[in-house]
Amino acid sequence: MEAGSQGTNHLRHVEKDVLIPKMVREKAKELCSNKVEAFTKCCQEEGFLMVVKCRKENAALKECLTSHYKDSALYEECKQEYLKEREEFRQTGIPSKKRQQKISSSM
């Protein structure tokens, strides 16, 4: 492998251990949205008793999220998405969120 190609895919500690896992957590919340909604609804309905009354919903949510956190395919998907966004940022100097806002506002 050439040094240049290795550098484009090299991940810093903060990218591997913070930024990509953050993307995984966000995607896991989307993938578990029905469980998030069920737990949220239960908490709203039960108020102070939610600790006792929403155990089933909480356990289901935790199980769903944990299964996605441990999914190496999801991590790899997020890693590739991160690398793509990072490369675009390096080329344009514009973070992906701002790029999306510019595209939306220009339509």
**Is the pTM of the predicted complex or chain greater than 0.75?**
no
Question: For the chain, what are the domain ranges?
Answer: 9-100
Residue 32, burial from CB neighbour count under 10 angstroms (0-12, 13-18, 19+): buried
pLDDT at 45 over 70: yes
- Assign 64 a pLDDT band (cuts: 50, 70, 90): very high
> Which two tokens mark 80?
């590739």
pLDDT (0 to 100) of residue 103: 46
CA 4, CA 14: separation in Å to the nearest integer?
Answer: 21
